Structure 1
């Protein structure tokens, strides 16, 4: 059971935070009304409102857990309009708490007046004792009112925040089901792509190599045979390069021995477009995170070389607030389609790890690909 003094401090702190919540709600209401006149800014303003509301809810949760004993409240993970509704509902216990403390202050003033009158001899002993009894009863009622306000505060938090946690869990289950289907589709698309690479590239080269070696075996001229064997050797080298490329598209085995920055450096050496890489990660992320970031970078490099006519690609990788951020930017002509097979497949890969992928590619460029993945 929470100590009465802590409850009193918690309710008093709740009065102050309710004043801050009221100020925030007034500003948010004004911003929301203003966004109706500026439709392009509506989404941005809505995002800012929910973000700051979530910050205030986190502060309220700490107060409830530390002073009012509400330790079972779920942690706040994502922003949402339910948090704005909670801040509005919190105004009721805030107002009741302010009223209770105002009555307590009035009682303290009356107590001082009573004591002063008794010292001056203006009250008899019987009158003084009667006032003490009445004051004690009123004080007990006031203390009980403060405790009731604290209980109401906790009940509102449990009703709105717990319910929000269950709704978030249900949304998470639906998201995982959708992401799972998307990942399966992305894997199937990648298999089809590998099959095309093997059939149209490596298989055709091996067929040509077999025909070349057959001509060399049937040849009578030593110089002609030597030339054919030399050409066959060159074709074998190119076939090995293509096979290595296909294998890297399946899984970058170099990540087993080298970190992401070093592996992307190897990719940059084979790239037709100059690549500048900055990798600032104090701790190496999980293998799954590195693998997804590798595929995102490779797809962005391929698009920049084949479709954007880029002359430079920059890759910046850094850690920020429990996430790994990778920004790939090229100076090409732009026009990349985020809903295309390659980029949409990458978006599903990123979403499978609770990350997000954002592609901006206006006509005329530049193209930026931002991938953010959680990293413990």
Structure 2
């Protein structure tokens, strides 16, 4: 009932705006036709007409989104908006006719019943039981058919209204291609920037971690060679051996952050399971994907989880992190929730890099992290 009420209100409002649009379209059409005679007035006439058409088309777009569940992100130019209004006012007037017929039928039936009751009295009085039964059935069937036809008319007007919105309020093919080119240019630049940041991060990890440990290892070995005492030399060699083990662990961590070998070995699930084991904090993993996604999708999903878990462990003070990976209608949805202090921003260095990685695959990336928490990071990746 609530949905039908919204559709009814949408058709009523559309019928009302159709009258205004009809007057505007006729006036704008006459003014634009007059430009054939006085072309020098083009700037004074065409610009206001097209601006008014765009404003009215925007109102129609909002009406469709609010009442008819038809959202459109496009903003048509003036000429296209005027063509849309010219066609839409006809649909709106059709809706007005349907509403008028419904109102006429309802009021007419009510008047007839009142007159019949006043002049004749109770129409069922003096009739047999079987006559009363068939008369009641007739009225029920008659009213049901009229109600069905009325609802069908309203639904038909709503469907045509949505179809016109899809036809005129969405970008045309040339506009879609232009937007796609702009999007690809932006994502290409973002990918280059993300790769550059990743190189710098790897360089910092090697310089501040592995390189410093190698210097310490060299110093320990040099001191062991110069030590005259055998016990002292043995102790220094023991320390050098431990340092070499730490270097190997650092190398494995750097290699894992560059590209985890578990992705090639078993896919995303075992790679995330290994990440959870190495997280250093409680992480709950819920993986519900039956068919393995493409390798590039798995890699981006892994890095989203890795960065989100790392941020939660280092900055948010979270007690637990929940990772959910699902497949929904051709999308791999990665959701990471933590109960930390919040305040994370997609403009931060780490999360902005993830946003660029996701955009490179035509995915969607959102961060909801109010101050005080909790934090929710969602990445939606197309996976066919």
Interval containing the TM-score (normalised by the shorter chain):
0.5 to 0.7
Q: CA deviation at 1:250?
A: 1.6
Distance 2:247 2:68 in 1: 53
User: For residues 251 and 46 of structure 1, what CA distance do their matches in structure 2 show?
Assistant: 49
Counterparts of 1:262 and 1:27 in 2: how far apart (Å)?
Answer: 55
Q: Are the aligned partners of 1:209 and 1:236 in contact in 2 as well (CA < 8 Å)?
A: yes
Q: 1:227 Cα deviation (Å)?
A: 1.6
Q: How far apart in 1 are the matches of 2:64 and 2:350?
A: 29
Asked if structure 1 preserves the Cα contact closer than 8 Å seen for 2:358 and 2:381, the reply is yes
- Counterpart residue number, 2:70: 53
Deviations 1:130-189 (A, max 9, x none): xxxxxxxxxxxxxxxxxxxxxxx9x97997389523322211110110111111111101
CA contact (8 A) 1:324 1:375 kept: yes
CA-to-aligned-CA distance 1:54-95 (integer Å, 9 cap, x gap): 5xxxxxxxxxxxxxxxxxxxxxxx85466xx76993563686
* Mapping of residues 267-306 of structure 1, within 5 Å: 267-306=275-314
Segments of structure 1 that go 5 or more residues without pairing to the other structure are 1-19, 31-44, 55-77, 100-152
TM-score (norm 2): 0.61
User: Which residue of 215, 223, 235 corresponds with 2:223?
Assistant: 215
Instruction: Give the corresponding residue for 1:318.
Output: 326
Query: Partner residue of 2:177?
Result: 169
Indicate whether 1:333 and 2:333 are aligned.
Answer: no
Following superposition, the deviation at residue 337 of structure 1 comes to: 2.2
CA distance in structure 2 between the partners assigned to 1:28 and 1:201 by the alignment: 67
Maintained 8 Å contact 2:308/2:377: yes
Q: Distance in 1 between matches of 2:351 and 2:210?
A: 25
Question: Cα–Cα, structure 1 residues 342 and 23, in superposed 2: closer, same or farther, change >3 Å?
Answer: same
Aligned to 2:185, the other structure's residue is in SS state: helix
The 2-side partners of 1:351 and 1:49 are apart by: 29
Quickly say closer, same or farther: Cα 1:28–1:329, change in 2 above 3 A: farther
CA distance in 1, matches of 2:68, 2:298: 29
- 1:364, distance to aligned residue in structure 2 (A): 1.3
Tell me, in whole angstroms, the C-alpha distance in 1 between the residues paired with 2:254 and 2:14: 53
Closer/same/farther in 2, CA of residues 336 and 50 from structure 1, 3 Å limit:
farther
CA 1:232/1:290 → structure 2, altered by over 3 Å: closer, same or farther? Answer: same
Instruction: Name structure 2 gaps, 5 residues minimum.
Output: 1-5, 17-61, 98-160
1:235 aligns with 2:252: no
Measure the CA separation in 1 of the matches of 2:14 and 2:241: 71
Give the conservation status (yes or no) of the 8 Å contact 1:357–1:371: yes
TM-score for the superposition, normalised by structure 1:
0.63
Deviation at 1:334, TM superposition (A): 1.2
Q: How many residues align?
A: 268
Q: Does 1:349 align with 2:339?
A: no
- 1:27 and 1:226, CA in 2 relative to 1: closer, same or farther beyond 3 A? farther
CA shift, 1:50, in A, is 10
* Residue 289 of structure 1, CA deviation: 0.7
What is the aligned counterpart of 2:378 among 361, 370, 373?
A: 370
| Runs of 4 or more above 3 Å deviation | 20-30, 45-51, 78-82, 85-91, 93-99, 155-163
State the match for 2:119 in structure 1: none
Within the alignment, does 1:205 sit opposite 2:250 as a pair? no
| Alpha carbons 1:310, 1:331 under 8 Å: kept | yes
SS of the equivalent of 1:52 reads coil
List aligned pairs for 1:237-276, cutoff 5 A. Answer: 237-276=245-284
Mapped to 2, the partners of 1:226 and 1:360 lie a distance apart of: 55
1:361 lines up with 2:378 in the alignment: no
Cα-Cα RMSD: 3.7
Greater alpha carbon shift after TM alignment, 201-210 vs 169-178: 169-178
Instruction: Using the TM superposition, give the Cα deviation of residue 221 of structure 1 relative to its aligned residue in structure 2, in angstroms.
Output: 2.0
After superposition, the Cα gap between the structure-2 partners of 1:46 and 1:330, relative to the gap in structure 1 and judged at 3 Å, is farther
Look up the match of 2:197.
189
Please name the residue that 1:92 is paired with: 90
Change (3 A) 1:362 1:157: closer
Find the counterpart in structure 2 of residue 180 from structure 1: 188
CA separation of 1:98 and 1:305: change in aligned 2, threshold 3 A: closer
Distance in 1 between residues matched to 2:258 and 2:295, nearest whole Å: 15
